[in-house]
Amino acid sequence: MIDLIRRHKWWLFGIIFLGGLASWFEGWRSHHEHSQDTVILAASRKHGVDPALVKAVVWRESWFDPNSKGTSGEVGLMQIMKDTASDWATAQRVPMFTHHQLFDPAMNTDCGAWYLRKLLIRYRGTDNPVVYALAAYNAGPGRVTKWSQGSAVTNSAAFLQQMNFPGTKKYVPTVTERYQHYRKSFPSRPV
C-alpha cells in the first residue's frame, strides 16, 4: 500500500490540491453572492418588489460587483442607465443627484427596485408581468411595446416568441431561472 502511495503521490497531491481549491472557490462564491443581501432586502422592502427578483437581476447585471460598468453607460449592481436614474432621483426627491452616485450599492438597488416595481405595475395585466418587466429592464419599454402584438399583448409565451433581440431572448429566461433559484433560499416576498 505504501509503495502504491509513493508511486502515485503526485496524483494524490493533485487531487487534494484541486479539492482544496474547489472548496475555497465555493466559499468565495457563496460569500460574494451574499455580499449585497442587506441592500437588496432594504430596496425590496421599500418598493414592494420580491427580493429574490431583485437579487436575480443583480446577479445577471453585475454579478454583485457594485463598481460594474456597462458598454452603454449603465452602472452599478443593477446597471442603471442615466435616464432611469434621473427619473428615479426626481420621483424620490434625491437632492443634487449625479449618475456617479449609483456606484453606492444602497442607492443603486433602491433605484433598480423602484424601476422594477414601475415595470411590474406597467405589465400587471399580462399573464406573467415578470417576463415583460425583465424584457423592458433589458431592452426598454419601447421594444416591449413593439413585441407586444396580437396575443403577445398579454400572453408571455407568445411575447417571448415575438422577441427579435437574441440578447433579451436569452436574458429573460436566464434571470427568471435564477429568480426561481433564489426564491428557494432568499426571502420570497418583501420583508
pLDDT, one tens digit per residue, over 106-118 is 999 999 999 999 9
* For residue 24, pLDDT beyond 60: no
Whether residue 93 is found in the same domain as residue 173: yes
Average pLDDT of span 114-134: 98
Whether residue 165 is found in the same domain as residue 106: yes
Residue 93 lies in a domain: yes
With cut-offs at 50, 70 and 90, classify the pLDDT of residue 19.
Answer: low
| Cβ count near 74 (within 10 Å) | 19
User: Residue 95 sits in which domain range?
Assistant: 37-185
Catalytically active residues, by annotation: 61
Whether residue 161 is found in the same domain as residue 86: yes
pTM: 0.83
Closest CA to 80 of 137, 143, 15, 159: 137
Whether residue 21 is found in the same domain as residue 5: yes
